[in-house]
Structure 1
Amino acid sequence: MAVQLPKLVLFVCLGNICRSPIAEAVFRKLVTDQNISDNWRIDSTETSTEEIGNPPDYRGQNCMKKHEIPMNQVASQVTKEDFATFDYLLCMDENNLRDLNRKGSEVKNCKARTELLESYDPQKQLIIEDPYYGNDSCFETVDQQCFRCCKAFLEKSQ
């Protein structure tokens, strides 16, 4: 019997302190609740260098705590190796997608499918807006979008 290798998914946004760590935490909770954590390797990253080493935005952390979703991650930048390692790079907006496609085109052994996470949204909201300059309700909106998208992505990729 063949051993099933875990699927690798990397959530990506501009600074890796708002949207992508929320998506990572939500997806991790979904696979944990379904008892399929061993089938996945989950991480998040940023396209910029602005927030490397920083924790998630406190408003995102508060939102996750409110929903009892563990979040523990430190911002890091996407690497060329990520394109060769991960199966999926799921990003939050068109700018992230453009940055990833540019960087991915420089990788010879690129195996990752680079997509907008929102493409899985059953409500067809095609951008997960950056809540950084918004208020707490903006983070709640990101959480709800990420939950819908991650749930649909998980169902489609099993």
Structure 2
Amino acid sequence: IARQAKLIMCLFFLTGNICRSPIAEAVFRKMATDAGVVDKWVIDSGATTDWNTGSSPDARGLACLRTHGIETKHRARQVTKEDFMSFDYILCMDESNLSDLKKKANSVKNSKAKIELLGSYDPEKQLIIKDPYYGHEEDFENVYEQCVRCCKVFLENNS
């Protein structure tokens, strides 16, 4: 019997889980699918707050993804203690996310998640993926392009 390879679990993270993190999640899922390795991954995204729980991603983010031929059925959800115990990677977008996550991880006994900035994988060295919420369509496009660059390197490093 062929042993099932352990799935790599990756969670993209943001305060509200309606702009940057669902874009990153959708981009990464498409990339893993196109590379034929999506079945080796558990891919999700989550939020620190419960502000948007159950909501679809921001319409501008969805429009941006559609422009690039990507659909997502994601609904915002709040990160749980179990996420820190089950996910291998939790990738976030900026320093305030990073400090929130590290605080939460410290309160979880068996936290195993490697918490990193998604931007740390950017070959163009743009560490922070800026929130496009109060911006315009081009700000969502910038987030998309950064996510593509970062997710490509992250996937290569974990393939």
Aligning the two structures, in what range does the TM-score lie when normalised by the shorter sequence? over 0.9
Q: Quick one: distance in 2 between partners of 1:86 and 1:11?
A: 10
**Cα deviation, residue 64, structure 1:** 0.5
| TM value normalised by structure 1 | 0.98
Q: Quick one: distance in 1 between partners of 2:158 and 2:32?
A: 12
RMSD in angstroms over aligned alpha carbons?
A: 0.8
DSSP 3-state at the match of 1:53: coil
Instruction: After superposition, give the CA deviation of every residue in 1:94-140 in whole Å (9 maximum; x if it has no partner).
Output: 01110000000011111110000000000000100000000000000
Q: Quick one: distance in 1 between partners of 2:71 and 2:105?
A: 30
DSSP 3-state at the match of 2:107: coil
Partner of 2:102: 101
Partner of 1:152: 153
Find out whether 1:61 has 2:62 as its counterpart: yes
DSSP 3-state at the match of 2:82: helix
**Cα deviation, residue 58, structure 1:** 0.1
Instruction: After superposition, give the CA deviation of every residue in 1:5-59 in whole Å (9 maximum; x if it has no partner).
Output: 1100000011100000000000000000011111001000011221111110000
Partner of 2:114: 113
AA at the equivalent of 1:124: K
DSSP 3-state at the match of 1:149: helix
Partner of 2:23: 22
AA at the equivalent of 1:22: I
Q: Which runs of 4+ in 1 moved over 3 A?
A: none
Partner of 2:123: 122
Q: Quick one: distance in 1 between partners of 2:118 and 2:81?
A: 20
Alignment size in residue pairs: 158
Quick one: percent identity of the two aligned structures? 56
| TM value normalised by structure 2 | 0.97
DSSP 3-state at the match of 1:78: coil
**Cα deviation, residue 3, structure 1:** 2.5
